[in-house]
Chain A
Amino acid sequence: GQQVMQIPQYQHVQEGEDFTTYCNSSTTLSNIQWYKQRPGGHPVFLIQLVKSGEVKKQKRLTFQFGEAKKNSSLHITATQTTDVGTYFCAGPDSNYQLIWGAGTKLIIKP
Chain B
Amino acid sequence: KAGVTQTPRYLIKTRGQQVTLSCSPISGHRSVSWYQQTPGQGLQFLFEYFSETQRNKGNFPGRFSGRQFSNSRSEMNVSTLELGDSALYLCASSLEGQNYGYTFGSGTRLTVV
Interface on A for B, CB 8 Å cutoff?
A: 30-31, 33, 35, 41-45, 47-48, 88, 92-93, 95-98, 100-103
Contacts and interface: CB of A to CB of B under 8 A. Distances in A.
A3 to B, nearest CB: 12
Interface size class of B (residues with CB under 8 A): 20 to 34
Given A96-B55, A96-B56, A102-B42, A42 B104 contact: yes
Interface stretch (B12-20, B68-76, B77-85, B95-103): B95-103
B106 interface: yes
Contacts, number: 53
A31 B104 contact: no
A88 B43 contact: yes
A98 B42 CA distance: 13
Interface of B: 33, 42-43, 45, 48, 50, 55-56, 90, 92, 97-107
Nearest to A6: B42
